[in-house]
Chains A and B, each alone.
Chain A
Amino acid sequence: DIQMTQSPSSLSASVGDRVTITCRASETINNFLNWYQQKPGKAPKLLIYSASNLQTGVPSRFRGSGSGTDFTLTISNLQPEDFATYSCQQSYSTQYTFGQGTRLEMK
């Protein structure tokens, strides 16, 4: 299976900051990479698909980039509602796999 590794595992930031989360695949996945946001006790929400495409309704302060094995999710001008856990997921292989998640906490 393709392993997805996120870094950091947790991150502290303040409202208005810009943060970057990285996701690395154990082999090339082209741009078959999605990002999700999850708040405690809630279902995940799709933010970015195919590495850089913003899902409908997602604010433009979220940006995804990368291809091959290395990907990033950047959140600019952090808002209070952005503090959550973020997970990447590859869809290159039909054995879909997720990263372990990055918890974004308020400083």
Chain B
Amino acid sequence: EVQLLESGGGLIRPGGSLRLSCAASGFSFRSHAMSWVRQAPGRGLEWVSSINSEGDNKNYADSMRGRFIISRDNSKDTLFLQVSSPGVEDTAVYFCAKGHGRFDYWGPGTLVTVSS
């Protein structure tokens, strides 16, 4: 059974930094692209970033480029998202998802709250 579990969310001050993790199991993690998608409170889904299976090809939503860094550790079946200098508009539940383009499995999400 495919399982994805995010962690690392919490309260962060504007201008701080945070690293989110997503632990994967139940499939060959190293063989699949992975993505992050977020959802602000009461809002729709917003794609953040995707990374290929080898970790050497990354793409980002234009509005988030430079502030978010996606990475992965295939030896630990883990996906990461580094969030730097967030603003209050980055408050959201952050989901990791298997795949890119088509997101066929999702984790339950981790809430990031940006507030002073």
Contacts and interface: CB of A to CB of B under 8 A. Distances in A.
B95 A98 contact: no
B102 A101 contact: no
A100 B44 contact: yes
B109 interface: yes
A101 B95 CA distance: 17
Nearest to B95: A43
Contacts of B37: 44
B44 A44 contact: no
Interface residues of B, number: 20
Contacts of B62: 1, 95
B87 interface: no
B101 A36 contact: no
A98 B45 contact: yes
Given A91-B102, A94-B59, A96-B101, A42 B108 contact: yes
B44 A46 contact: no
Contact of A44 (B61, B100, B103): B103
Task: Tell me which of A36, A38, A44 has the highest count of chain B C-beta atoms within 10 A of its own C-beta.
Answer: A44
Nearest to B63: A1
A89 B95 contact: no
Contacts of B105: 46
Contacts of A38: 45
B56 interface: no
Interface of B: 37, 44-47, 50, 59, 61-62, 95, 100-109
Interface of A: 1, 32, 34, 36, 38, 42-46, 49-50, 55, 87, 89, 91, 94-101
